């Protein structure tokens, strides 16, 4: 009990002993919007506990039902889905995107979050909303630097983030583990086990968070505890190698490799087509001007830091599989010593999940600015976020802004040894649970998931089925590339 709660009975007793009548009254503190309503042991109007409410959801949505996949009528074929997702992108870059997606089934999954959302819209959901990554595949977890340069590990891609059914993130992650395991050469049982262990770690972590004080749960599973919590010791060597590379993955290193003396005491980017290219002066000026509006979206205490840098150059840089063709710039800033800071200014398109939310019973949220959506979604899911996250608008298009090469590193799940697949699944499952618990009550999801492995088995079965579907979609894309139906530029 709080000091307020314990003080009230003592005051009543003192007044009663003095002969002064005491009127029974409710709590001294009224209901405050934004906080949960206080309830006492005799309050019959109190709603059921979140855990009980979660358990009750099993009657409407049995956990075993999550194994099912019934593809909706009118599902676009794989090639048409890719063509539709290319709309609005820079036309000259879409063949690079197609080439990357055609490389492997896992790469196809990475670029087809919208198609999977279309398919997930017909699968069972509890109706419990969480802030979703929206693209929670196994390659979207990684290391990055915090404000003091220490490395943390978490989800690290939020282009598609939106509030929606927590099951969608979990099923996408489990499916990606099957596909990554197959690409790594693991046998089928190892791949299925990777998905099963991913869901099991998610479920057990949610149960752990549900039992903890709210503040402790919010910051739970520090990175030094993650391997032990997820029983992922076989990954230690891989994580150490990735960490060593990440420590050297900085703005200074990128600038040293990608710039040259500008002749006026500064630096400028060097063309390295098709990945990096300098842009016309007007385009560079528009991007630089957008950073003025960006400053107002960053925490006020960061303004003096950014004010110590001058903008020197802007270049266009091609980004990862799902984002190829979106407008993405790197901006070179130098401080008074000539030390570089590189910001990425990346176009923020509407989440590909949004059109499919109503079919699952969820509202499409009103979005003020797509860059703001991405930044706020990232901050809601991560324990520690980039201190320079913000957003802006450039020539009418919304963009997110973040540090580039902020000591980032990632595990390639498709290159893991067979005995590491389940370890990586457990680690990412635990991280996803922690991220979801920042927006959804862990007691509610834990109540639904329960103690046994019914959900683990069901989602693992779904993951294998959907991995097979993805392989068929990938084969369709490869055939279309071979016949010339769709252009692809391989190996970029």
CA angle 348, 351, 355 (to 5 degrees): 145
Q: Are residues 383 and 421 in the same domain?
A: no
Helix 78-85 with 113-120: angle, nearest 10 deg: 120
Q: 437-489: per-residue pLDDT in tens?
A: 999 999 999 999 999 999 999 999 999 999 999 999 999 999 999 999 999 99
Domain termination site, one of 354, 370, 403? 403
Query: What is the rounded average pLDDT of the residues 246-259?
Result: 94
Predicted local distance difference test score (pLDDT) of residue 5: 34
Predicted local distance difference test score (pLDDT) of residue 215: 92
When pLDDT is cut at 50, 70 and 90, the band that residue 433 belongs to is: very high
Predicted local distance difference test score (pLDDT) of residue 15: 38
Q: 142-155: per-residue pLDDT in tens?
A: 999 988 888 999 99
Q: 347-397: per-residue pLDDT in tens?
A: 999 999 999 999 999 999 899 999 999 999 999 999 999 999 999 999 999
Is 19 inside any structural domain?
A: no
Is 221 inside any structural domain?
A: yes
Q: Are residues 66 and 177 in the same domain?
A: yes
Residue 419 has pLDDT above 80, yes or no: yes
Predicted local distance difference test score (pLDDT) of residue 374: 98
Residue 159 has pLDDT above 60, yes or no: yes
Q: Are residues 144 and 231 in the same domain?
A: yes
Q: Are residues 439 and 348 in the same domain?
A: no
Confirm if 377 and 400 have CB atoms less than 8 A apart.
Answer: no
Is 124 inside any structural domain?
A: yes
Domain termination site, one of 403, 435, 455? 403
The three-state (H, E, C) secondary structure of the chain, written as one string: CCHHHHHHHHHHHHHHHCCCCCCCCCCCCCCCCCCCCCCCCCCCCCCCCHHHHHHHHHHHCCHHHHHCCCCCCCCCCHHHHHHHHCCCCCHHHHHHHHHHHCCCHHHHHHHCHHHHHHHHCCCCCCCCEEEECCCCCHHHEEEEECCCCCEEEEECCCCCCEEEEHHHHHHHHHHHHHHHHHHCCCCHHHHHHHHHHHHHHHHHHHHHHHHCCHHHHHCCCCHHHHHHHCCCHHHHHHHHHHHHHHHCCCHHHHHHHHEEECCCCCEEECCECCCEEECCHHHHHHHHHHHHHHHHHCCHHHHHHHCCCEEEEEEEECCCHHHCCCCEEEEEEECCCCCEEEEEEEECCCCCCHHHCHHHCCCCCCCCCHHHHHHHHHHHHCCCCCCCCEEEEECCEEEEEEECCCCCECCCHHHCCHHHHHHHHHHHHHHHHHHHCCCCCHHHHHHHHCCCCHHHHHHHHHHHHHHHHHHHHHHHHHHHHHHCCCCCCCCC
Is 219 inside any structural domain?
A: yes
Is 102 inside any structural domain?
A: yes
Residue 8 has pLDDT above 70, yes or no: no
What are 131's two structure tokens? 């802030």
Q: Are residues 304 and 235 in the same domain?
A: no
Number of domains in the chain: 2
Predicted structure pTM score? 0.91
For residue 61, which phi and psi values (nearest 5 degrees)?
-130, 85
What are 442's two structure tokens? 């862990």
Q: Are residues 183 and 302 in the same domain?
A: no
Residue 2 has pLDDT above 50, yes or no: no
Q: Are residues 130 and 233 in the same domain?
A: yes
Is 240 inside any structural domain?
A: yes
Q: Are residues 70 and 211 in the same domain?
A: yes
Q: Are residues 222 and 342 in the same domain?
A: no
Q: Are residues 56 and 140 in the same domain?
A: yes
Q: 264-320: per-residue pLDDT in tens?
A: 888 999 999 989 999 999 999 999 999 999 999 999 999 999 999 999 999 999 987
Is 262 inside any structural domain?
A: yes
Q: Are residues 269 and 162 in the same domain?
A: no
Domain termination site, one of 403, 438, 473? 403
Domain encompassing residue 307? 251-403
Q: Are residues 154 and 103 in the same domain?
A: yes
Is 386 inside any structural domain?
A: yes
């Amino acid at each position: 009990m709080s000091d307020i709660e314990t003080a009230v009975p003592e005051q009543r007793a003192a007044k009663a002993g003095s002969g002064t009548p005491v009127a029974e009254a409710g709590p001294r503190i009224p209901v405050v919007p934004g906080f949960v309503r206080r309830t006492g042991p005799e309050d019959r109007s109190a709603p059921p506990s979140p855990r009980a409410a979660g358990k009750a959801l099993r009657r409407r949505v049995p956990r075993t039902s999550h194994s099912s996949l019934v593809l909706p009528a009118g599902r676009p074929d794989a090639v048409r889905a890719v063509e539709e997702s290319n709309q609005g992108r820079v036309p000259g870059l879409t063949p690079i995107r197609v080439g990357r997606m055609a490389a492997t089934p896992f790469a196809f999954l990475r670029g087809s979050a919208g198609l999977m959302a279309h398919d997930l819209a017909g699968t069972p959901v509890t109706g419990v909303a969480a802030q979703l990554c929206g693209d929670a595949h196994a390659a979207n977890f990684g290391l990055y630097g915090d404000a003091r340069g220490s490395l943390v590990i978490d989800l690290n891609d939020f282009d598609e983030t939106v509030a929606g059914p927590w099951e969608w993130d979990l099923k996408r992650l489990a499916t990606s583990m099957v596909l990554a395991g197959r690409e790594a050469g693991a046998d089928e049982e190892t791949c299925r086990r990777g998905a099963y262990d991913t869901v099991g770690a998610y479920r057990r972590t949610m149960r752990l968070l549900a039992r903890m004080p709210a503040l402790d749960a919010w910051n739970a599973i520090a990175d030094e505890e993650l391997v032990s919590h997820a029983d992922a010791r076989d990954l230690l060597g891989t994580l150490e190698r990735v960490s060593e590379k990440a420590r050297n993955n900085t703005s200074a290193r990128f600038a040293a490799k990608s710039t040259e003396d500008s002749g006026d005491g500064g630096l400028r980017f060097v063309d390295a087509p098709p990945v990096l290219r300098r842009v016309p002066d007007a385009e560079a000026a528009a991007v630089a001007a957008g950073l003025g509006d960006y400053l107002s979206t960053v925490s006020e205490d960061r303004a003096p830091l950014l004010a110590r840098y001058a903008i020197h150059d802007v270049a266009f840089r091609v980004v990862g599989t799902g984002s190829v063709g979106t407008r993405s710039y790197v901006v070179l800033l130098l401080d008074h010593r000539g030390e570089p800071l590189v910001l990425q200014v990346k176009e923020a398109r509407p989440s590909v999940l949004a059109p499919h939310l109503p079919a699952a019973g969820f509202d499409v949220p009103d979005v003020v600015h797509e860059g703001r959506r991405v930044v706020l979604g990232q901050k809601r899911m991560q324990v520690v976020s980039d201190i320079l996250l913000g957003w802006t608008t450039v020539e009418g298009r919304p963009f997110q802004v973040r540090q580039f090469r902020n000591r980032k590193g990632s595990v390639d799940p498709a290159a893991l040894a067979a005995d590491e697949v389940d370890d990586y699944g457990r680690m990412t499952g635990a991280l996803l649970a922690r991220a979801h618990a920042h927006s959804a009550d862990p007691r509610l999801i834990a109540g639904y998931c329960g103690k046994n492995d019914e959900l683990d088995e069901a989602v693992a079965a779904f993951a294998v089925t959907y991995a097979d579907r993805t392989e068929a979609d990938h084969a369709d894309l490869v055939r279309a590339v071979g016949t010339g139906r769709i252009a692809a530029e391989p190996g970029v």
